[in-house]
Structure 1
Amino acid sequence: MAKLTEKIGYGMGDMASSMFWKIFSYYLPIFYSDVFNLSLTHTATLMFVTRVWDTVSDPMMGAISDRTETRWGKYRPYLLWFSLPFAISGVLLFSTPDCGEQGRLVYAYITYILMMTVYTGINVPYASMLGVMTDDSYEKTVFSSYRMFFAYGGSFIALYSWEPLCKLFIDYQPLFPVNSLSDAWQGAMIVIALMCFLLFIGCFLLTREHIKFERGDNLLNDFRSLIRNFPWWIITGAALCTNLFNTVRGATVAYYFKSLVSH
């Protein structure tokens, strides 16, 4: 029977991931267009390119983590190794360099692709951890329940606190070196990133990998097995539809409230 602390620790990992993902989904597009000053065309193209890269990097990271062997396990070490890069990448993503439009566009591509790569580097191993934490199906369901509870909690905290954090940095300029709206957004992201860093460290410290598996087969055999796996194609199709809906909803909701509800 898994300890309560381990269940809470496992939930903390998805809490961190969900906090970042909600900020990206709901606030990054409007940050690029209204604060970072990219055109909507450039913003949309950037979002598309990074999503294409994400479809490539996810299976690559899965293959790498499956073949990782350390004293901490296969997947758990990535929580430690990527927690700080995860936080730093998020801050860089919401930073606005003092350069021209082309310079900002290049910076946006570099930092967004970097962020999605680091996000994959920590989130794919985290999601795979459930298979090595217990072999009991009931306990897996319990772990998943804790994960979802903390994920929704993290999403609520991130979305509820973002605008108050930005306002805090603007209203208390004598305490914070804020000279513009972009500085306030960067300051808010620093707070969120610090919280996510601590949550991932907590997840690493409180969890353990109890199940040992043999090193994975070669990549070509893995790929062949995947292609012939019809249920996997069904799940992939459902996931693509769900992610498309969530992406469109998240990318437009901030513009909706700014343009219609607030007027």
Structure 2
Amino acid sequence: MDTAASRSQKLTVVEKIGYSLGDLAANLVFQTLVTYLAFFYTDIYGLKAEDASVITLIVGLVAGFVFNPVVGAIADRTRSKWGKFRPWILLTAVPLGICALLAFSTPDFSYKGKMIYAAATYSLLLLLYAANNLPYAALSGVITGNMAERNSLSSYRFVAVMFAQFFVQVFMLPIILSVGQGDKAAGIESVMTWLAVLGTVMLLITFFATKERVVPTAAQESGLKEDLKDLFRNRPWMIMLLVTTLVFITLAMKGGAYVYYFNNYVDEGRLHSFIAPVTAFFDSIGLNFFGKDPRSAGFGLFNAGGIVMMIVGITFSKRLADKFGKRDVFLASLFISTLFILFFIFYPPQSIWLMFLSQMLHGFFYGISTPLLWAMIADVADYSEWKNNRRATAIIFSAMMVGLKVGLSVGSALVASIIGRYGYISSEGDQTMLQPETVATGAKMLVSLFPAVLFFAACGLLFFYSINKKMEVQIEGDLKQKRRQL
């Protein structure tokens, strides 16, 4: 262990904020993919639902099973004066921003050309996202070895995530419609340009504000073969891989389905009456773009309620995790939050207040679990070092990113595929097109029963995750003693 790096595992507020900006930047991309990718392909770019499903699934699986392991293996073997992982954040900041813009652009190609362009830009975006976000995530495992500090860092990080999610899910669609003056293609290209610039700046701040403190010794270095062998003997890692995959399938499924839910299921008249006081307030302060379309405004406010309550839930996360352990708090909060998703299957189109209330309660309980997922994965990296005396942080995080990418891709593909099976007709910007009545049923199932089943499955898996509060304390203590002796 590098003695200079090990003198203090405490993080300053500046470093925590600087690190969290990286997740704010990444989630401007990620939340846009979760919320709008299927909608962008079917309603803005004009791809058929089944073609959009195939592109998101195939590209996502390639990204998950090829891009992430390769990046993880290379990142763990990176040597530079800036450390293992920070150089990746620096080098990918600008290309990631450019590619995010290209992926949501709408060049005028033939239909076959559109499919090729969509597949190519989505592939490049996921490659750069892996090269940026995987080392960023792994950085949380080496920025400090103190588990309480990691809990705190995760809370900062996921408050930043909530801000990105708030903008994307609340304001982005109304802004797209307003900026484009009804032209969704022009609107989304304009918005993505600004997001690309802001995201690049924030990633650069992350690079300059952080440093790596947990530095493996030469004795802890290992080859790829040993790393993979350690992975597949690491039961907590296997559990977390499955949990991560299920969680992100669910997030992508319900997140991508809400726009269809509001456009095709929710009663527009009741929704307009329900949100009228809020849109009137926005009009009074000059934000008149927000109330131009009741469905997009309702969609935004619905997401806003959930996100605000998620932020409130995040504030309870560290204290609960410090007291009861990450696993137990994650399991309980995920289970309770899932109940409020399931309730959506019972709500008729006119029950607007019940929809909003359930979304807020789901957001609160899910918010408690949100910071814990990545903190638990950092604990899995510690568990591997504790058991094997070798540390391979990036490849462990890369395996989790496989779960994230596969989850995102499968979830997004399921949205496009399922809504297509319920008869959805791609509109390419035509907001007057009438959809079959079956589409409303499909949208309701996509935000209720289907995601609830997957979240409940993740809860079941957590009963087999062995790193409870007692083991957390033991691992941290043993590693501290081992590192002092090096």
* Distance in 2 of aligned mates of 1:262 and 1:46: 32
The answer on whether the counterparts of 2:97 and 2:197 sit within 8 Å (CA) in structure 1 is yes
* Distance in 2 of aligned mates of 1:3 and 1:88: 32
Aligned-partner residue type, residue 24 of structure 2: M
The answer on whether the counterparts of 2:143 and 2:213 sit within 8 Å (CA) in structure 1 is yes
Q: Which stretches in structure 2 are left out of the alignment for 5+ residues?
A: 1-9, 269-486
Larger radius of gyration: 2
Q: Which has the higher contact order (CA 8 A, sep 6+)?
A: 1
Q: How far does residue 180 in structure 1 lie from its aligned partner after superposition?
A: 4.2
Q: 1:234 aligns with which of 235, 239, 242?
A: 239
* 225 and 160 in structure 1: CA distance in 2 versus 1, 3 angstrom threshold: same
* Distance in 2 of aligned mates of 1:170 and 1:247: 26
The answer on whether the counterparts of 2:180 and 2:188 sit within 8 Å (CA) in structure 1 is no
The answer on whether the counterparts of 1:158 and 1:192 sit within 8 Å (CA) in structure 2 is no
Q: How far does residue 150 in structure 1 lie from its aligned partner after superposition?
A: 1.1
Instruction: Tell which deviates more after alignment, 182-191 or 161-170.
Output: 161-170
Who is 1:144 aligned against?
154
1:6-32 deviation digits (Å, cap 9, x = unpaired): 010011111111221111111111110
Who is 2:100 aligned against?
90
Counterparts of 1:76-115 in structure 2, within 5 Å, are: 76-115=86-125
Q: 1:224 aligns with which of 213, 225, 229?
A: 229
SS of match in other structure, 2:180? helix
1:180-235 deviation digits (Å, cap 9, x = unpaired): 43122111111122221111111111111123224641111211221222221111
Who is 1:16 aligned against?
25
Identical aligned pairs, as a percentage? 29
Q: Which stretches in structure 1 are left out of the alignment for 5+ residues?
A: 172-178
Aligned-partner residue type, residue 225 of structure 1: D
For these two proteins, the number of residue pairs brought into alignment is: 256
Aligned-partner residue type, residue 16 of structure 2: K
Who is 1:36 aligned against?
45
Q: How far does residue 242 in structure 1 lie from its aligned partner after superposition?
A: 1.0
SS of match in other structure, 1:261? coil
Q: 1:256 aligns with which of 253, 258, 261?
A: 261
Counterparts of 1:196-235 in structure 2, within 5 Å, are: 196-214=199-217, 216-235=221-240
* 202 and 69 in structure 1: CA distance in 2 versus 1, 3 angstrom threshold: same
Q: 2:71 aligns with which of 51, 61, 69?
A: 61
Instruction: Tell which deviates more after alignment, 158-167 or 68-77.
Output: 158-167
* 104 and 79 in structure 1: CA distance in 2 versus 1, 3 angstrom threshold: same
Q: How far does residue 70 in structure 1 lie from its aligned partner after superposition?
A: 0.9
| Large movers: runs of 4+ above 3 Å | none
Give the TM-score taking structure 1 as reference length: 0.92
Who is 2:335 aligned against?
none
* Distance in 2 of aligned mates of 1:110 and 1:262: 38
